[in-house]
Amino acid sequence: MVDEAPEADVPAGGPPDVRQEPWEVFRQEKEGDPMTHGGSVLAPDRELAMHYAREMYGRRQESVRLWIVRRADIDVLGDPDLLDPPLDRSFKKPGGYVMRDKLADARARTGVAKKTATDR
């Protein structure tokens, strides 16, 4: 009796020597919405990855646009020096530069009271 590998060990869509690669799928639900990560598919090439992504994320019209990217082509930026800028740029954030407090300090130093609507 010859011991053979069961059929279930053969990857779907091709012979056993075909290498399946992970492809990341990004989707847009409505026009104008941001692209969000929808998930990933395993496929041996770009064309099958597009078909699998379309079947999983587009067949029920839940997406208006799909991006399919090979996981190996995604660059990871994990360097803390590049992600955390060395200079304080809090003035660019709305809460980093509060004009009301600076005006109140300036009025207190000069002794000028804040004008109200009835003073005009």
Task: Characterize the bridge pairing of strands 36-43 and 65-70.
Answer: unpaired
Q: What average pLDDT values come out for the chain (120 residues) when binned by 10 residues? A: 43 68 95 94 96 90 92 85 68 65 85 73
The identity of residue 50, as a single letter, is M
Task: Characterize the bridge pairing of strands 21-28 and 65-70.
Answer: antiparallel
- What are the residue boundaries of the structural domains of the chain, listed by start? 13-110
For residue 25, the tally of other CB atoms under 10 A from its CB is 22
Helix and strand counts by DSSP (H, E) for the chain: 3, 3
What class, spelled out in words, does domain 13-110 have in CATH?
Answer: alpha beta
User: What is the predicted pLDDT for the residue at 105?
Assistant: 85
